[in-house]
Amino acid sequence: MQPILVVEDNPAFRETLQVVLGDEGWPVATAADGRAALDWLVGQQPALVVMDWGLPDLDGQVLATGVRNAHGEGIPILLITADGRAAEKARRIGAVAFLGKPFDLDELIDLVRRVLPDD
């Protein structure tokens, strides 16, 4: 099973996402910033990318472009952002779904279940 790649710069929130998704049985890889995510993508293909828009080094647009360049359009992206324009940004990068921070973790789990096929 391919992992979910979580790209989030807040260490506590990144760990929470990793634990919550892992508890549901999904393998999870994490990256603290966009450059680390792009480095990871060179050798790995995720089932899904859950990414924050507001990363310290690369914004969501650049990271999404990097995901597409590495693995084509087939990798779904779930965008998370706190700035209130999640829907607009999700459309811009072709994300399959979005969540505005703060969000309920059950909502995240529900979205991931809809995006990833059952194994």
Segment 99-114, tens digit of pLDDT: 999 999 999 999 999 9
Identify the structural domains of the chain with CATH numbers, from first to last.
4-115 (3.40.50.2300)
d(CA 87, CA 47): 22
Q: Is the pLDDT of residue 55 over 90?
A: yes
Average pLDDT on 24-53 reads 96
Type and span of the H or E element at 109: helix 105-115
CB 79 within 8 A of CB 56: no
**Three-state DSSP state, 91:** helix
Q: Which residues does residue 97 pair with via DSSP β-bridges, in sequence order?
A: 78
Instruction: Please tell me the predicted confidence (pLDDT) of residue 117.
Output: 74
Instruction: Please tell me the predicted confidence (pLDDT) of residue 26.
Output: 97
Instruction: Please tell me the predicted confidence (pLDDT) of residue 83.
Output: 82
Instruction: Please tell me the predicted confidence (pLDDT) of residue 119.
Output: 55
Residues in contact with 110: Cβ distance below 8 Å, sequence separation at least 6, in sequence order: none
Instruction: Please tell me the predicted confidence (pLDDT) of residue 67.
Output: 96
What are the backbone angles phi and psi of residue 50, rounded to the nearest 5°?
A: -105, 110
Q: Is the pLDDT of residue 89 over 90?
A: yes
pLDDT band at 1; cut points 50, 70, 90: confident
The residue assigned the tokens 């995510």 is 37
CB 77 within 8 A of CB 51: yes
